[in-house]
Amino acid sequence: MTYKTAWYILHRIRKAMKCCEERYLLNGIVELDDTYLGAPTHGKKRGRGTEKVKMIVALSKNAAGNPEYVKMSDVPNLKGITVGRFARDNIRAGSKIESDNARSYKKPLAQKYFHVFETYDPTSGQLNWMHKVISNFKAMIMGTNHGNEKIHTALYAAEYLLQIQPS
């Protein structure tokens, strides 16, 4: 099998994984956060407004606070309308959403969800599971794929989610 054929088959498998992820909605207690993918930038904007790939990640937790399912999506920006669209497509209305106090989360999430937000404090354990999921995803991209191309981010995310989701 040639490299080109293997690459083609792998991407078809990743697309199938992505279709599987789109079939369910998160519910109950859901953590929500954003992240950026890409190499470190020197002398450029960091955080919101960066040129890196932007992603929104949501993680549902059970009553004991342990993670159950994860959804992630690359997005063009982190504006309120984009966050609202992600929530509508991935989180069941009426769920409790926990997040940091980013301005773009407040208005769209207050409409259909019970939204709890706090100023992020690394020592509080807030969004602890979320940050582990994001960290492991970034490690997978750097370790397995040796970097990230914007056009493949959604497929890499689908592959990662299939690996960590319970069957």
Q: What are phi and psi of 70, to 5 degrees?
A: -130, 145
Count of other CB atoms within 10 angstroms of residue 143: 8
Helical residues (DSSP H) of the chain, grouped into ranges: 3-21, 80-90, 103-112, 128-144, 153-164
The per-residue pLDDT for range 118-165, each reduced to its tens digit, is: 777 677 767 788 889 989 888 888 876 666 667 677 778 878 887 787
Domains of the chain (ranges; CATH) run: 3-164 (3.30.420.10)
Per-residue model confidence as pLDDT tens digits over 35-72 = 888 766 666 666 666 677 889 999 999 888 888 899 99
User: Are 49 and 17 a contacting pair, CB within 8 Å?
Assistant: no
Judge contact between 39 and 51, C-beta under 8 A.
Answer: no
Size (the chain), residues? 167
| Cβ-Cβ contacts under 8 Å for 117 (sequence gap 6 or more) | 98, 99, 100, 101, 102, 105, 106
Q: What is the pTM of this model?
A: 0.81
Say which DSSP state 94 is in. T
As a whole number of angstroms, the distance between CA 162 and CA 57 comes to: 15
What is the pLDDT, as a whole number, of residue 148?
64
Compute the chain's Rg from CA coordinates.
Answer: 16
